[in-house]
Amino acid sequence: MAVAPYATPIERAWHYIFRAICALVLLFLIAPILVIMPLSFNSEPYFTYPLPAFSLRWYEDFFTSDRWQIALKNSIFVACATTALATALGTVAALGLSRANLPLRGLIMGLLISPMVVPVVITAVGLYFFYSSVGLNNSYIGLILAHTALATPFVVITVTATLTGFDTSLMRASASLGAPPATTFFKVIMPLILPGVISGALFAFVTSFDEVVVVLFLASPEQRTLPKQMFSGIREQISPTITAAATLLILFSVIMLTTVELLRRRSERLRGIRG
């Protein structure tokens, strides 16, 4: 988008003003993340610049204190279980949703997506009542089931997106060559939709890993996760260990983002879509 040679001086000026506005918006988007990372290396427990000295003490605290380590372990455990369950359920459902002859598709899709749209507090309140009547409050199973319900829409959406434009004649070709449905699924369909499935799984993992409202309602201190630990940390007294945890989580997001982006490109290449 270079300035056109016939542009008037006003257009020229606007061109640069416009770029400056965009730069400010990008700065707004990225600044909080850039500001918090260096603060985690502060040697003093303050949140101001300039930093008096460089130190890793908050990282040491994060990796040695029981509170943070239990929270980290719980988060990883719940997120892994959620990912496995949500990916299995979501992928199979997406295969069904992409078939042309599914009855009531709109209604089913709306229902399957709804956990993503309904405010989490409502889900949490509903589950709180429901779990107290079946005895699942303060249990890992209850937490995993709740997170799975919240995470499946992401798997359904990503895998369904991968399946649009899926060439169904490949399945027929495989069947006509004598492959049973299971072989067709694992040898023909799966390799093609795998990037979408992995993206969906990563979304599911992140959904569970970041989720805090359901944990606040349904989990006992024993099941506290990283976000809950951060939440109570901010509420009570904000310790710089939170900035260390936040920095680690940002690094984690960078890895996730890169993986999903690479997978998306691979998927588009596999399906012959030029980006």
Partner 1 sequence: MTTAITAPTIVRTADGVPLKAKLQRVERVRRLRAFALVAPLLLFIVVTFVVPITTMLYRSVDNPELAANLPRTAVALKGWHGQGLPDEAVFAALAADLAEAHANKTAALIGKRLNYEIPGTRSKIIATARKIAEVEQGPYKDVLVKIDPTWAARETWAVLARTVRPVTSFYLLSAIDMRLDADNQLTRIPSSDGGIFLGVFWRTLVISVTVTSATLVLAFPLAYLLASLPTRMSNLLMILVLLPFWTALLVRTTAWVVLLQTEGVVNDALLWLGVVDKPLQLIFSRFGTIVAMTHIQLPFTLLPIYSVMKTISPSHVRAARSLGAGPFYAFWRVYFPQTVPGIAAGCLLTFILALGYYITPALVGGPTDQMISYFAAYYISEELNWGMASALGVVLLTATILLFLLYSRLVGIDKVKLG
212: Cβ–Cβ under 8 A, 6 or more apart, which residues?
A: 225, 227, 228, 230, 231
Residue number, 70 or 161, with CB nearest to partner 1: 161
CA-based torsion, 85, 87, 90, 96: positive or negative: negative
Would you give the DSSP letter of residue 2?
P
In the bound state with partner 1, the residue whose beta carbon lies nearer, of 29 and 53, is: 29
Q: Does 179 bind partner 1 (CB under 8 A)?
A: no
Q: Does 89 bind partner 1 (CB under 8 A)?
A: yes
Residue 77 interacts with partner 1 (CB under 8 A): yes or no: no
* Binding residue (CB under 8 A) for partner 1 from 72, 77, 231, 271: 231
By CB under 8 A, residue 238 contacts partner 1: yes
Q: Is 96 in the site for partner 1 (CB under 8 A)?
A: yes
DSSP helix/strand/coil, 54: strand
**What is the smallest separation between the CB atom of 198 and partner 1, expressed in angstroms?**
13
Do residues 115 and 178 lie in contact, with contact meaning Cβ atoms separated by under 8 Å?
no
Count of positions on this chain that bind partner 1 (CB under 8 A): 96
Three-class DSSP category at 63: helix
118 touches 56 (CB < 8 A) = no
Output the smallest distance, CB 266 to partner 1, in A: 14
Query: According to CB under 8 A, which one of 12, 13, 19, 186 is a site residue for partner 1?
Result: 19
The residue within the footprint of partner 1, chosen from 102, 170, 262, 273 (CB under 8 A), is 102
User: With CB under 8 A as the contact rule, which of the stretches 66-74, 76-84, 172-180, 203-211 interacts with partner 1?
Assistant: 203-211
Q: In whole angstroms, give the CA distance from residue 181 to residue 155.
A: 22
Indicate the residue among 69 and 258 with the shorter CB distance to partner 1: 258
Q: In the structure encoding, which two tokens stand for residue 140, read together? A: 């890992």
92 exposure class (CB count in 10 Å sphere: 0-12, 13-18, 19+): middle
Instruction: Round to the nearest angstrom and report the end-to-end CA distance of the chain.
Output: 19
Binding mask 244-273 for partner 1 (x = CB under 8 A): --x--xx--xx-xx--xx--x---------
Query: Interaction with partner 1 in 116-155: which residues (CB under 8 A)?
Result: 116-131, 145-146, 148-149, 152, 154
Helix (H, G, I), strand (E, B) or coil at 117: helix
Which residues between 40 and 59 bind partner 1 (CB under 8 A)?
46-49
